Structure 1
Amino acid sequence: MAGRSSRDMTEGPVFGHILRMVIPMSFGIVAMMLTGIVDAYWVGMLGTPQQAAVQMSFPVSMLVMSVAIGLGAGAVSAVSRAAGKKDFSQVRRIATDALTLAILMVGAVSILGILFVEPMFRLIGATETMMPHVTDYMTTWFAGIVLIVGPMVASNVLRAIGNATVPAMMMVLAAVVNMILDPFFIFAEIPFIGLTGLGWGVSGAALATVAANAFTFLLVGWYLAFREKLIDFSWPGFGEVWHHWGEIARVGIPACISNTFNPLSLVIVMGGLGMAQFGDPAVAGVGVGGRLEAFGIVPLFALSASIGAVTGQNGGAEITERVRRAFLTSFAFCLAWGLGVALVLNVFSGPLAAAFLPSEAGQDVARLYWLLVTLTVAGYGITIAASAGFNGLGRPAYGVAITSSRAVMVVIFAIAGAWIAGGPIGVIAGMALANIVSGLGTAAYALTRAPMTAKGGKARRTAAAPADPVSAASE
């Protein structure tokens, strides 16, 4: 393909390509999750207002990062479909335009974020004690957001051409550098080891994240430009660039919207109409149950980040049978892995619940969550894999329909369950039922009714070629 480590995924075992991408991606996701835990630990040592400020920033930062995820999905779709057609000049051009679009869009978000950080966080409820720390943290984070998003989009481009190892290495490297820099940037005197640090407090935590990602951005940028030769330094004209931006946005914007449905549904379910009405132990039990489940199903998240490249390349090559096989084997993987995670969590449910939850009531809820929701989590995996697979085909409307319908089911079934059962078991049973119905429905539709062909945007209009003067003279 474009470079030495690119992979043609239109040949060879379909699930082999998927598995080859899922394994390294899983390590990368775990590394990033551990970074969040380490950040929270060090910031917590500064004090409660500082810890609260950083936690308050999480929903806003995730909202901004959803833009990056959407741009990445759009880049994967456009690049992989061009790769499947073996149009390698377009692969280079689209990859370059995807990075340019990401930098420009996130740069605009960065400026707006810095200008409005204080009124924005006052609006969502930051207290006076939190506000100085929120401002310090988020101003630094917004200032460096381009350096955080850049390697994410670049890694998506690499995955689109079948290279999953380098993106995973970059994620692990960024996580390790971040964790090393954290105590040096946060504390004037580093706890436990007594070394002198920079003492920048919460802004130091944000700067550690920015610096780590800036380092990996340099590395992955070099790799894209000089190893894979995926950066096109020529100027094709604004018309072509605009066309590629539109094609990336055609998939990226719906993908961004899709990413908000699942967390939004959980916010509602955990609120006053759902779990919160049954007390703090119930909320804590579901929270701990969900967090441990999330670690267990990392490969399902990795699958959703990988399948789009496989469906995109094969859809671009018009090999519909391989596209269908990608969906079928992915769904089977979700089922097998989900049941395996449920088995492990339920076997060790007693000691795990006791380790994380002080109250017996909370422990009971966590064990119930693993028994019902985690047992059916394959349904959730199927929905996110299918959504990503259709995004790869350039059919984002299917992804939005799948994720939104599951989110609606989660809310309706959980609230109805709370009303019918009058306790946490109703909410949990409702969430499990939503997994079952959405998973079965998605699998049935994707494998029997949904189109397996790739879909591109409108063709770009080009000026008519000038008449051949020799031919014109002879007429």
Structure 2
Amino acid sequence: MHERSRLLADESIGKLLFKLSAPATIGMLVQALYNLVDTVFVGQALGENSVQGIAGIAVAFPIMMIVMSIALAIGIGGSSIISRSLGERNIDRAENVMGNVLSLVLITSAVICIAGSIFITPILRLFGATDTILPYATEYLSVILYGAIFFMFALAMNNVVRAEGNAKVAMYTMLVSALVNIILDPFFIFNSGYIEFNFLADKLGIVIEPLYMYGFGLGVKGAAIATVLAQVTGALFIVWYFASGNSSLRFHTKNLMPKWDIARESISIGMGPLARNASSSLMVIVLNNVLLVYGGGDVAIAVFGVVNRLFMFTFMPMYGIVQGLQPIVGFNYGAKNFTRVIESVKLSMFVTTTMAILGFILLLVFPEQLFSIFTTDQQLISSGKYATRIMVMALPLVGFQVVGASLYQAIGKARPSFLLAMSRQLLFLIPLVIILPHFFQLTGVWMAFPLSDSLAFLLTLVMVIKEFKILTIMGENIKSS
């Protein structure tokens, strides 16, 4: 048995979850950080136009998330099959799935780039871009679409790397791309000249001297270029990993030929995260258009854009735990070791709930300070402080829901995974965003978030309890046979 497979089968759950989750969590945190940095630099570079610039990225970002979610659906679905195949010691099938993941990425990224470029303006209008926001959103998204293949390749193949238990390489991929993005951002966004960092100095209580920097002064478009170049770097790192022979899986060109059974199973399993992200994008369409009516337009959209970034920074560590959890659950489910499946899920729920509570405290206590890092616009800061404190009220419940949905992805149960993934956004949040503003105006929009989190938690709780009972019975049957 390969060393990584032995660890998935025999290592203590606590140590194993830490080994696999810590790199993923660090990588996800850095990814969230560079998404924050993009918005911070754009907000500071555009000055009096910071609201429109931030709102432009906020409108374009959900479309970028759809591209990423398709890649994640392919990667997570494929990695679930790969983990179970490795647990069954079926290397040929695992390698066949890896080849099909790559071919699916190449096909879908080409379609997305062409279709997105043709229909970019109506798509952005649909997502709530006003006349003042549209130029900034177009600048950002037009560049991102051309880099779709690199985004999708890096995300999908990173999940394949995790499926074989090599979490450190997946972490290095995210670290490399994130660091490249953070380094390139100021060069592409700012003009040449002295750059003041007062917005950081005021918060940190230190003196930061102005720094002379040679820059291209591309603003929002510069942020997108830096992001694409960062993803190119990440994709090249993954290519090096597989070409170097460090992977337990081998690439064979014959496996690039798409196979319907593999594609169908991968996509059906990956429909959970795809539904979650797609429903999130649908939610943005609804929410931005509701904000145009009840929130007055650009400022309210920018508020949600910043809060969304802050939420991502809170959620990303939880997704890091989930990424470490999935190969453990998938491998041991394939090996019919159901006790380890339950033990690893329970531990992950405890860890993610702790993370959610810490995020809740941070966002509840310091919303004004966090918003002021992005902009000096006092209306945006004041509105953001009020909205954030409402939206985070049920945040401590999110950790449980995230792990519960990932359980079904890892064991290959597509329907319950799909249901839980879409429950928060599609079943609960969107209807509440439409209904509540009729009674509470703009406050109703922000109230929809904690209410939907609470309802999604209750649904997940019922389903997970039922699944634990099934796993326990299956484990007892194996012991008695």
Smaller-chain TM-score bracket = 0.7 to 0.9
Q: 1:323 aligns with which of 333, 336, 341?
A: 341
**1:154–1:221 Cα contact (<8 Å) kept:** no
Partner of 2:30: 31
- Residues 185/7 of structure 1: CA separation in 2 closer, same or farther (3 Å cut): farther
2:247 aligned partner, one-letter code: E
Q: 1:230 aligns with which of 249, 252, 263?
A: 249
**1:274–1:427 Cα contact (<8 Å) kept:** no
How far apart are the structure 2 equivalents of 1:164 and 1:218?
17
2:8 aligned partner, one-letter code: M
- Residues 334/271 of structure 1: CA separation in 2 closer, same or farther (3 Å cut): farther
1:23 aligned partner, one-letter code: A
Answer 1 or 2: higher relative contact order, Cα 8 Å, separation at least 6: 2
How big is the shift at 1:376? 3.1
- Residues 326/201 of structure 1: CA separation in 2 closer, same or farther (3 Å cut): same
Q: Residues 67-466 of structure 1 correspond to what in structure 2 (within 5 A)?
A: 67-118=70-121, 120-121=123-124, 136-186=139-189, 189=192, 191-192=194-195, 193-198=211-216, 202-225=220-243, 226-235=245-254, 238=257, 241-262=259-280, 264-265=282-283, 268=286, 272=290, 276=294, 292-346=310-364, 358=378, 362=383, 365-366=386-387, 368-369=389-390, 374=392, 376-407=394-425, 408-411=427-430, 422=440, 431-449=449-467, 451-452=470-471
**Worse overlay, 207-216 or 166-175:** 207-216
How big is the shift at 1:171? 0.9
**1:118–1:135 Cα contact (<8 Å) kept:** yes
How big is the shift at 1:256? 1.0
| Structure 1 residues not aligned, in runs of 5+ | 454-475
**1:387–1:396 Cα contact (<8 Å) kept:** no
1:221 aligned partner, one-letter code: V
SS in 2 for 1:231: coil
- Residues 64/281 of structure 1: CA separation in 2 closer, same or farther (3 Å cut): closer
Q: Deviations over 1:389-419 (max 9, x none)?
A: 2111111211221233333234556766666
Q: 1:58 aligns with which of 56, 61, 65?
A: 61
Partner of 1:460: none
How far apart are the structure 1 equivalents of 2:84 and 2:23?
23
- Residues 5/103 of structure 1: CA separation in 2 closer, same or farther (3 Å cut): farther
Q: Deviations over 1:419-454 (max 9, x none)?
A: 67x47776666643443343243123213346549x
How far apart are the structure 1 equivalents of 2:212 and 2:297?
42
- Residues 342/227 of structure 1: CA separation in 2 closer, same or farther (3 Å cut): same
How far apart are the structure 2 equivalents of 1:231 and 1:393?
24
Q: Deviations over 1:351-370 (max 9, x none)?
A: 7689889479747735742x
2:410 aligned partner, one-letter code: G
RMSD: 4.0
**2:20–2:324 Cα contact (<8 Å) kept:** yes
How far apart are the structure 1 equivalents of 2:80 and 2:285?
30
- Residues 95/341 of structure 1: CA separation in 2 closer, same or farther (3 Å cut): same
Partner of 1:466: none
1:245 aligned partner, one-letter code: A
1:26 aligned partner, one-letter code: T
How big is the shift at 1:307? 2.7
Over the matched positions of the two proteins, sequence identity in percent amounts to 26
Q: Aligned residues, how many? A: 447
**Worse overlay, 72-81 or 44-53:** 44-53
SS in 2 for 1:86: coil
**Which is greater in Rg?**
1
1:438 aligned partner, one-letter code: A
How far apart are the structure 1 equivalents of 2:255 and 2:234?
28
How far apart are the structure 1 equivalents of 2:449 and 2:101?
37
TM-score by structure 2 length?
0.77
How big is the shift at 1:320? 2.1
**1:77–1:160 Cα contact (<8 Å) kept:** yes
SS in 2 for 1:10: helix
- Residues 203/365 of structure 1: CA separation in 2 closer, same or farther (3 Å cut): closer
How far apart are the structure 2 equivalents of 1:62 and 1:377?
21
How big is the shift at 1:58? 1.8
How big is the shift at 1:11? 2.3
How far apart are the structure 2 equivalents of 1:382 and 1:338?
9
- Residues 348/134 of structure 1: CA separation in 2 closer, same or farther (3 Å cut): closer
SS in 2 for 1:227: coil
**Worse overlay, 377-386 or 40-49:** 40-49
**1:353–1:366 Cα contact (<8 Å) kept:** no
How big is the shift at 1:382? 2.0
Partner of 1:469: none
How far apart are the structure 1 equivalents of 2:288 and 2:358?
26
| Structure 2 residues not aligned, in runs of 5+ | 196-210, 473-481
How far apart are the structure 2 equivalents of 1:72 and 1:339?
29
SS in 1 for 2:67: helix
**Worse overlay, 407-416 or 65-74:** 407-416
TM-score by structure 1 length?
0.78
SS in 2 for 1:206: helix
How far apart are the structure 1 equivalents of 2:46 and 2:406?
40
How far apart are the structure 1 equivalents of 2:121 and 2:297?
32
